[in-house]
Structure formats: structure tokens, C-alpha cells
């Protein structure tokens, strides 16, 4: 059960438990679809990063999944937070997260994003464009200095899908080394009396399962830091290498080894700084999916089974509104029948959602018992990241609840979205 939370255990009647809680009982108690999040798994993964990178700032990427409880867990485990909007920032700060431990991101920050970041006192704001530098400088109060970083495009292709490769030139994120945009942005910030340039940032992509691209990125970033030192006489004290660490969604897939990553990145950083005569900057990294993704399991109930000439379609009561990544990136998952034993030979089926799109496919050609029928429960692991955080209101199907499990106790973190919730937003005729 390598793709399941480490607390996963087999139970009677082909059920499984996570965090000491039966998934079948969770489905009966909270309804389906239901997202189950193993609190201890999240905490253990936070600790694994702190152990691997004891002298770095580890900040949790809130875009993977954020709610008040998750913000509280990562804060208690000693991590900072990476947010991308005023909404994520307000939720975190009103939960009690120290704003000075928060990094504000975003390729197109709104005026509200920037003003909220200044008002609440975030620790660092990552500049993604030259116009953003001018906008922030204009609203920073006299007598204050806001710490900023420059998001640099290092020219490295890495990631599990073309849509999540953010380290290459000619895409919407960051400022390129190749065309000089990054160097120009550095000069602009250094000319602003209310902005304090504390370092550089890069993010090469998502679902990166190899250490090599990170090592290459560090090498190029150190080279840029050396050129900044030579041109401006400034040795930047921080380097943020982003996140994007791969997890396995199905058995046999590769995940990124955090311990190996730490050793190779630290070695390249120290060697590069020694070669160029730079002081070693303080490292920051931003894991999100790698912390919360493996801690989540979603449970669906089968609604229909339809047999055509070539396929068997198993339709469940959720889909692309709560699990959009298969449609967006072609990600494949491994659903499992739970809650009843079956001796029927397996057959290949396509698990689809309930939404009005032919592309609403959750798992294509996966083996499930041949007697699968309406009313059965399917559990899908590796579901903690980039599912509910990307959820939509398509077909006005309410978003599922999130239930935390730990020590045999289940509690609701985020309640199910009701028709009344959605109707309250529709205010006109």
C-alpha cells in the first residue's frame, strides 16, 4: 500500500482504515464523496522535511490544499507558509499563522493581494514582473521596507506534464536569465528605497521525480547571484528553490527522495558558493503536494455501471468538480473497491465522474472486480493535494467535505457545500 497513508490497515469485510477510522464507516457517517485526511501523515511529512533540511526555511505551499486545520498543523510543525492570494493569506493569518513566516507568490498579484500583504506584514513577497515592482513600491509606506525576492526563470524543463513545467522560458511565470529580464528586475528593486531585495526564487515545475533538475537550477541561480554581486556589490542572503516534489499516485510510480534531494542541493550550493566566493545563502523550499497529497483518500459511491461493446464505464458520485487533475493533466489513479469482499475475477473498467463532459474520467482502464455494481464504494489514494483546492461548482454539485482522522477519531474540517450555500450567492433575477 505504498500510495496509501502509512496508517492504512486492512479491516474485516474488505474494508480499510486510515488513522484508525474505517473508510466505510466514514462514508456512511459523512456521505460521499468524502475526502479523508490523515493528520499524523501530514505532520510526519512536515517533520521529514525539517529533518532533511534543518538549516533551511521549509514553507508549505498552501495552493496544494489549505484550510484552518492544515495551516495550524504546519505551523505547529515549524513550517512557514507560501500563499498566492489575499484569500489564502487572510485565512492563514486569522487562524493565527505568524505573517512574518509567510511568503506571498503569484504571477499576477492584484492590488488587493499586494495591499493585504503589506497590511498584514508578510515576511517576503516574490516579484514576478517589472510592473509589479513599481506597483508594490508605490504603495509601501514611507519609513518602511518590504522584503522581496525576484522569481527567476532558470531555463530548465522539469515536471510531469507540459502544463506544470514552470522553469522554462516563454511561459507566464517569472523573469528570464536568458533575455536579461531577471537582471533588469534586480536593478529596479535595488533602486527602490522602500523595497529590500533579500534573495532570488525559482520554481522549475511540478511532479519532478529526479534530483538532477534541482541541482542544475541551484547551479544557475548561484551563477546569477555571483553576477549580481559583481555588478551591484550585493551578496544576496537567501535562495528559494521552490517545490514541485513528485509523489506516487499509483503503485510503481516514483516519488522524489527528500533526503537525497537535501544532500545533493546542499552540496551543489556549498560548492558553487565556494567557486564564486559567495557566502552560502539561507535556503528556502516550498513543498506542498509532497506533504499533503499522500495523506488524503477520497471515497466515492458507484452510481451506475454501463457496458458498451468495448468498455465498462463505472460512474461515481463525484468527478472533475472535485478531482480535476485527470482531466487537466492526464493523471492516473488507482481506485480500490472497499466495504465488501469479492471473488469475481477482475476486469478492466473506466471510472468516470457524473459531470457533463466526455473528459470527466477519473481512472482509465483500471482493474476492479467484475461484479462491481451501483452502491459499491471506491477509495482513491494520493488525493490530498490539488483536488479540493482546484474544485469547481460545475453542474452545481456541491464540493465534498474534508474529514480529518487521527487515533481512531474523525472530525469535519471543511463541511460539505450545500445547495443553500450555492443559492445564497445567486442574488439577482
CA pair distance 260, 148, nearest whole angstrom = 29
Q: Is the pLDDT of residue 156 over 90?
A: no
**Phi, psi for 198 (deg, rounded to 5):** -110, -10
pLDDT at 161: 43
Distance of alpha carbon 300 from alpha carbon 378, whole angstroms: 5
By C-alpha distance, which of 410, 159, 160 is closest to 297? 410
- Provide the pLDDT confidence category of residue 248 given band limits of 50, 70 and 90: very high
Mean pLDDT of 403-412: 98
CA distance 218 to 197: 19
Section 330-346 average pLDDT: 94
Angle, alpha carbons 201-205-206 (nearest 5°): 125
Contact residues for 51 (Cβ-Cβ < 8 A; gap 6+): none
Confidence of residue 254 (pLDDT cuts 50, 70, 90): confident
Of 90-94, 252-256, 354-358, 386-390, highest mean pLDDT: 90-94
Whether the predicted pLDDT of 166 surpasses 80: no
- The predicted structure's pLDDT at residue 167: 43
* Closest of 273, 275, 289, 143 to residue 209, by C-alpha: 289
CB atoms inside a 10 Å sphere around CB 425: 7
Residue with cell 527567476: 152
Q: Are 43 and 6 in contact (CB under 8 A)?
A: no
Q: Where are the alpha helices (H) located in 233-310, listed in sequence order? A: 258-276, 289-292
> Does residue 163 have a pLDDT over 70?
no
C-beta separation of 122 from 129 below 8 A: no
Nearest to 388 by CA among 396, 398, 378: 398
Helices 111-120 and 86-95 pack at an angle, to 10 degrees, of 20
Residue 389: CA count within 13 A, CB half-sphere: 23
Instruction: For the chain, give the number of residues.
Output: 429
Q: Which helix (H) or strand (E) holds 405?
A: strand 402-406
Contact 113, 132 (CB under 8 A): no
Residue 202 annotated among the catalytic residues of the structure: no
Q: Which of 181-190, 202-211, 269-278, 297-306 has the lowest mean pLDDT?
A: 202-211
**Set of cell numbers at residue 325:** 487533475
Domains (range + CATH), the chain: 9-37+293-425 (2.40.37.10), 39-290 (3.20.20.10)
Which helix or strand (DSSP H or E) is residue 200 part of? strand 195-201
Distance CA 266, CA 258 (A): 12
Amino acid at each position: 500500500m505504498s500510495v496509501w497513508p502509512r496508517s492504512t490497515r486492512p479491516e474485516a469485510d474488505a474494508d480499510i482504515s486510515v488513522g484508525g477510522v474505517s473508510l466505510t464507516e466514514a462514508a456512511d457517517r459523512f456521505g460521499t464523496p468524502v475526502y479523508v485526511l490523515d493528520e499524523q501523515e501530514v505532520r510526519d511529512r512536515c517533520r521529514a522535511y525539517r529533518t532533511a533540511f534543518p538549516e533551511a526555511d521549509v514553507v508549505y505551499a498552501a495552493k496544494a490544499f489549505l484550510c484552518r486545520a492544515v495551516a495550524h498543523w504546519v505551523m505547529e510543525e515549524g513550517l512557514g507558509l507560501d500563499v498566492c492570494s489575499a484569500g489564502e493569506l487572510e485565512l492563514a493569518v486569522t487562524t493565527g499563522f505568524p505573517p512574518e513566516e509567510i511568503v506571498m507568490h503569484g504571477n499576477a498579484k492584484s492590488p488587493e493581494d499586494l495591499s493585504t500583504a503589506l497590511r498584514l506584514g508578510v515576511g517576503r513577497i516574490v516579484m514576478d514582473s517589472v510592473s509589479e515592482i513599481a506597483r508594490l513600491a508605490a504603495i509601501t509606506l514611507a519609513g518602511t521596507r518590504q522584503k522581496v525576492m525576484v522569481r527567476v526563470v532558470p531555463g530548465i524543463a522539469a515536471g510531469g506534464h507540459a502544463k506544470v513545467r514552470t522553469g522554462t522560458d516563454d511561459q507566464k511565470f517569472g523573469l528570464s536569465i536568458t533575455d536579461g529580464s531577471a537582471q533588469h528586475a534586480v536593478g529596479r528593486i535595488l533602486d527602490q528605497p522602500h523595497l529590500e531585495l533579500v534573495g532570488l526564487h525559482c520554481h522549475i515545475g511540478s511532479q519532478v521525480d529526479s534530483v538532477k533538475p534541482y541541482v542544475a537550477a541551484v547551479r544557475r541561480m548561484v551563477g546569477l547571484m555571483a553576477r549580481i554581486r559583481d555588478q551591484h556589490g550585493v551578496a544576496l542572503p537567501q535562495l528559494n528553490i521552490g517545490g514541485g516534489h513528485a509523489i506516487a499516485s499509483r503503485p510503481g510510480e516514483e516519488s522524489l527522495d527528500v533526503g537525497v534531494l537535501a544532500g545533493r542541493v546542499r552540496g551543489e550550493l556549498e560548492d558553487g558558493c565556494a567557486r564564486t566566493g559567495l557566502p552560502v545563502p539561507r535556503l528556502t523550499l516550498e513543498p506542498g503536494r509532497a506533504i499533503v497529497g499522500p495523506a488524503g483518500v477520497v471515497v466515492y459511491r458507484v452510481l451506475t455501471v454501463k457496458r458498451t461493446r468495448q468498455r465498462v464505464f463505472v460512474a461515481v458520485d463525484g468527478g472533475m468538480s472535485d478531482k480535476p487533475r485527470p482531466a487537466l493533466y492526464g493523471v492516473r489513479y488507482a481506485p480500490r473497491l472497499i466495504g465488501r469482499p469479492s471473488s469475481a475475477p477482475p476486469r478492466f473498467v473506466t471510472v468516470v465522474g457524473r459531470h457533463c463532459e466526455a473528459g470527466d474520467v477519473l481512472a482509465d482502464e483500471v482493474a476492479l472486480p467484475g461484479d462491481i455494481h451501483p452502491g459499491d464504494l471506491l477509495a482513491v489514494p494520493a488525493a490530498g493535494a490539488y483536488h479540493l483546492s482546484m474544485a469547481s461548482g460545475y453542474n452545481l454539485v456541491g464540493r465534498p467535505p474534508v474529514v480529518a482522522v487521527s487515533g481512531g477519531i474523525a472530525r469535519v474540517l471543511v463541511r460539505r457545500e450545500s445547495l443553500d450555500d450555492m443559492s445564497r450567492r445567486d442574488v439577482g433575477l
